[in-house]
Amino acid sequence: MKSFIPGPLSTPPDTLMKKGGYERHCVEAGRGCFHRRLNDPPFPRFHAYVRVRDNGMEIDLHFDQLDLKHHGNHDQDWAYHGGRVEAEMSRLLEAIRGHGAPGHVNAPNQTPDDTPSNPPKKRSLFQILFK
């Protein structure tokens, strides 16, 4: 799935992709490669090719279920289109524009609602025993 962010860009593409939770992986055919893992293992993950064009940024996003040596899914239509890829592209564009949450992955068995907004202050042993 492709999307284009018209220029001029306020910051470099690497910084914008990092806002969306993506890490730079390599450069292929003049395009930056970025990925965002869904959990600790390297796959499955979202994989984006980014190219600067007309002072803007073109993002070509797909979903990698397996790596290429294990016969990846690059020949499958669902890897480039559909609900999962469309939702991720929307999330990424919102994060880049500054309206969405950063694209970090939650700890295992933790949802964003589990994270306390005001964690309790740490108390010393003296405070615990005598107050």
Nearest CA to 38 out of 88, 95, 113 is that of 88
C-beta of residue 64 within 8 angstroms of C-beta of residue 48? no
* Per-residue confidence (pLDDT) for residue 126, from 0 to 100: 77
Tens of pLDDT, residue by residue over 48-84, are 999 999 999 999 999 988 766 655 666 677 788 888 9
pLDDT tier for residue 99 given thresholds of 50, 70 and 90 = low
How many angstroms separate the CA atoms of 27 and 8, rounded?
22
Nearest CA to 5 out of 46, 51, 48 is that of 51
Domain ranges of the chain: 2-107
Nearest CA to 39 out of 91, 107, 111, 114 is that of 107
Q: What predicted TM-score, i.e. pTM, was given to this entire model?
A: 0.68
